[in-house]
Amino acid sequence: MVTRTPQRPLAGIFWMLVTGFCFIAVTALVKFIGPRMPPVEMAFLRYLLGLVFLLPAIGALRQAQLTARQWKLFTLRGVMHGFGVMLWFYAMVRIPIADVTAMNYLAPVYVTIGAALFLGEKLAFRRIAAVVAALIGALIILRPGFREVSSGHLAMLGAAVVFGGSYLTAKVMADEVKPAVVVAMLSIFVTIVLAPFALMEWVTPTAMDLVLLFCVACFAVGGHYTMTLAFAAAPLTVTQPVTFTQLVWAVLLGYVVFDEAVDIWVVLGGLVILGSVIFITWREAAVKRQGTTPVVNATKV
């Protein structure tokens, strides 16, 4: 008899709210530092300073006996994620926080598309419709022909694509090695990928810049940790809708702190994308429940 972990939806919602706060804190700090430092240098220092959090994973790294294939996949993921981070930091200092947050919701949609193209997962008509709706949401945000689509918006579109590829690779690796190794290898490879680009535009950071970027690393790591706690406490169908609060905080933060105008079309497009992601999450959960229900003969074993 399999013991199931009891679901705690209120705890899941709480930890997801904390996750949203952590990630919005990351965007706020990056936006604040942005005028004084090149985006790629900020990204590099954030990951370099964040390597301190890998100390508990040293044992797992030393015990991991990675194959040549796994090294290639980790390298591929590191390169993809590294370029995604550069694009994200570039976009963060050029377009409103709300735009970045809303367009960031596209990454799970690209994961769904990539899983169908490269992992052979089937897409039912309803999931295809949800993907199309998400892309329409992106068009609502960008409104090509009605406003200028800046380089920051294009960078964010690219970031969502490569982040989707990174998460898809992580999905494969998570079945083969320990989670601590997956996280540690990502941080190490991203730091290596970012280093040469950062050196090309290097501006000597102040002590305060280093403190703030270390805070960025702390909030980023904390956000991923609390997100893991949320997923452990409640199903995705409960926690995923809570990510909408990130868009709310992003709009308020941009308006109050950075004097950014509230764009109702960005909010509407973000809601369309988020709604599509929630539907895709719900469908995947439903399929998994069907797949784990034993057939009649299996119950006799």
In this prediction the pTM is 0.79
How is the chain classified by DSSP, letter by letter? Answer: -PPPPPP-HHHHHHHHHHHHHHHHHHHHHHHHHGGGS-HHHHHHHHHHHHGGGGGGGHHHHHH----HHHHHHHHHHHHHHHHHHHHHHHHHTTS-HHHHHHHHTTHHHHHHHHHHHHS-----HHHHHHHHHHHHHHHHHH-BTTB---HHHHHHHHHHHHHHHHHHHHHHHTTTS-HHHHHHHHHHHHHHHHHHHHHHT--PPPHHHHHHHHHHHHHHHHHHHHHHHHHHHS-HHHHGGGGHHHHHHHHHHHHHTS-----HHHHHHHHHHHHHHHHHHHHHHHHHHHHHSPPTGGGG-
pLDDT digits (tens, 9 = 90+) for 259-301: 888 888 888 988 888 888 888 777 666 666 554 433 334 334 4
pLDDT digits (tens, 9 = 90+) for 137-181: 888 888 876 777 788 899 998 898 888 888 888 777 777 877 778
pLDDT digits (tens, 9 = 90+) for 63-122: 878 888 889 988 998 999 999 999 999 998 888 888 888 888 887 787 777 777 776 777
